A and B are shown apart, each in its own frame.
Chain A
Amino acid sequence: MEDAAIVALFWERNERALTETAAKFGAYCRKIAMNILASARDAEECENDTLLAAWNSMPANRPARLAPYLGRITRNLALDRSDAARTQKRGGGQAALVLEELEECVAAPGGVEEDFDAAETGRQISGFLRELPEETRRIFLRRYWYCDSTADIAARLGISEAKVRVTLHRTRKKMAVYLAERGVKV
């Protein structure tokens, strides 16, 4: 079923929207959650939470592309779960590693949360990513959007894991400079 048809079902408050979404995007959401949480059970629960969140967020929203929309919900929910799991000292997903790497891009690692416009910063990051070669962009997004492990990225792209790590390191440094130059408070 096409994305637009599924969204229409959501807008009609037709429960078939949930089964169609699960059939088409369940594995996709579960993979993202699994990357972050490293627990099949938690990933499955996260998938269900994503469906519920999508149900609640529509009809207020009418996403043109369902995969990134659902993926975005999943990664946020999974990160919340990961925070809770870390508090209870369990779980070994990629979340902690990803956040540790992103710490390199912020001016004051370990600093407190300030008011910032995530959507606007996301737009700036999109601009930055568009300037990168396709492979570099793919490596960056597989790591920081999909939270894939570096080994998975290397296998996916047919390159060495060392190359993935070096590329990520360089891209993070470039991104920090790019954002700072455009007045984004990092």
Chain B
Amino acid sequence: MTARQLFEAVGFVEDELVEQANAPVVRRRVPWQPVVMTAACLCFVVGVAGAGGLGRMKASSAAPASNAEYSMDSAPALAAGSTEDDAPEAAMEEKESGAATAALCPVDVTDYPLWAVCDRSGWEHSELVVNAGMLMVLTDADGAPFAAGQTLTVQADGAYTLGFAAEGGAPEFAQGETLTLPQDGYLCVLAGDADVTVFVSAEP
């Protein structure tokens, strides 16, 4: 068979399929209500998991985890020998050194469970990539994991992308829009079929 013959054979594809391919494209819309409910549920689950992890972290005096590692267990740990009282300062130093050596490569969070997404993202990174999945970002009462003045920019390459921040933040944001994540809030990005990149950056 030649390519020309194969081209002719494609011409014999059933009429119904040919007409379907010529029909106007109907964009799927993601229904808001289930998304909000799902996000709220996930917030709760991630919050509980995060609180448990923090408790374990404080009880531990293990050596600091490397910023370059993104395993499930790589949540920032206290410096060796530090006490609970000097934890905020130690954590601040850790954060600053992490920011200074920020890994600029994107983190592909595809196929990771949501709580791991939050954990793996680490926030030493300036960029996150979600491919055909969902990204959840939570903030605590201090706005952490984002430092004051940090903003998010979301870019997507295709359709079915949806993002919103809640709890006092912008209720919805469009592609390419920059927003500051609120305290006690969350950001949810549903990538659908699109590749979504979330840039985290400090305001100039």
Q: Which A residues are closer than 8 A to B by beta carbons? A: 28, 64-65, 67-69, 71-72, 75-76, 79, 98-100, 102-103, 105-107, 109-114, 116, 118-119, 121-123, 125-126, 129-130, 134-135, 137-138, 141-142, 144-146, 156-160, 163, 184-186
Q: Is the CB of B6 within 8 A of A137?
A: no
User: Interface with A: B14-22, B95-103, B136-144, B176-184, which one?
Assistant: B14-22
User: Does the CB pair A121–B25 fall under 8 Å?
Assistant: no
- Give the contacting residue for B18; candidates A71, A102, A111, A163; CB below 8 A: A71
Name B159's closest neighbour in chain A (CB-CB). Answer: A158
A144 to B17, CA, bound (A): 13
B144 smallest CB distance to A (angstroms) = 34
Near A by CB (< 8 A), chain B positions 1-33 give 1-22, 25, 27
Q: How far does the alpha carbon of A114 sit from the alpha carbon of B1 in the complex, in Å?
A: 6
Q: A99-B7, A129-B17, A138-B20 are in contact. Are A118 and B2 (CB under 8 A)?
A: no
Contacts A121-B12, A126-B14, A137-B17 given; does A160 touch B158 at CB 8 Å: yes
B84 interface hit (Cβ, 8 Å): no
Residues of A within 8 A of B193 (CB): 135, 159
CB A69 to nearest CB in B, in angstroms, measures 7
Q: Which secondary structure dominates where chain B touches chain A? A: helix
Give the contacting residue for A146; candidates B4, B22, B27; CB below 8 A. B22
Residue in contact with B22 in the complex, picked from A67, A72, A144, CB distance below 8 Å: A67
B111 at the interface (CB under 8 A from A): no
Offer 27 A-B interface pairs, CB within 8 angstroms, sorted by A.
A28-B22, A75-B11, A79-B7, A99-B3, A102-B6, A106-B1, A109-B3, A111-B1, A112-B2, A116-B5, A121-B1, A121-B5, A121-B12, A129-B13, A130-B17, A134-B20, A138-B20, A141-B13, A142-B21, A145-B10, A145-B11, A145-B13, A146-B22, A156-B25, A157-B159, A159-B157, A163-B157
Instruction: Give the number of chain B interface residues (Cβ < 8 Å).
Output: 29
With contacts A102-B3, A114-B1 known, is A122 near B21, CB below 8 A? Answer: no
CB distance from A35 to the nearest CB of B (A): 13
**Taking the nearest CB of chain A, how far is it from the CB of B66, in angstroms?**
34
Give chain A nearest CB distance to B153 CB in angstroms: 19
